[in-house]
């Protein structure tokens, strides 16, 4: 009888561990979500650096007039909406307000 109880407890623990296992890893849930326009987002230098680090030019491949980029910064998910032209200038070398500033951002993912 003791062996049966031990086997049932071991099976219960094994099933619990299997259900908790995840193949994609653990994702940090943001504390809050903030919706910003492109103009407001570029006024925050630290957020601007995080935008350069986390966003890539692939968001320009969609055929939409308003493009939303998502940036995770200091536990907050920022959804930044801007026009195609704004994002195009952001990713081109023509527009870079940070080239004269030395700003470092520590992001935790």
Domain membership of residue 62 (yes or no) is: yes
Q: Does the pLDDT at position 15 exceed 90?
A: no
Q: Which of 4-8, 15-19, 23-27, 38-42 has the lowest mean pLDDT?
A: 23-27
Q: Domain of residue 61: give its range.
A: 25-109
- What's the rounded Cα separation, in Å, for the pair 69 and 93? 19
Domain membership of residue 11 (yes or no) is: no
Domain membership of residue 19 (yes or no) is: no
Q: Does the pLDDT at position 35 exceed 70?
A: yes
- The domain tally of the chain equals 1
Domain membership of residue 61 (yes or no) is: yes
Closest by Cα among 76, 93, 82, 95 to 34: 76
pLDDT of residue 7: 75
Domain membership of residue 67 (yes or no) is: yes
pLDDT of residue 49: 86
Tens of pLDDT, residues 84-95: 888 888 888 665
Domain membership of residue 7 (yes or no) is: no
Domain membership of residue 33 (yes or no) is: yes
Is residue 50 a contact partner of residue 73, using CB atoms and an 8 Å limit? yes
């Amino acid at each position: 009888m003791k062996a049966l109880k031990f086997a049932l407890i071991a099976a219960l623990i094994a099933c619990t561990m299997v259900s908790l296992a995840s193949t994609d890893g653990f994702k940090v849930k943001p504390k809050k979500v903030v919706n910003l326009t492109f103009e407001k987002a570029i006024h925050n230098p630290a957020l601007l650096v995080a935008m350069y680090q986390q966003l890539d030019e692939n968001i320009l491949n969609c055929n939409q007039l308003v493009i939303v980029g998502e940036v995770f910064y200091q536990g907050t998910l920022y959804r930044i909406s801007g026009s195609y032209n704004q994002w195009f200038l952001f990713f081109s070398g023509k527009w870079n307000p940070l080239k004269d500033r030395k700003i470092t951002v520590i992001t935790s993912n």
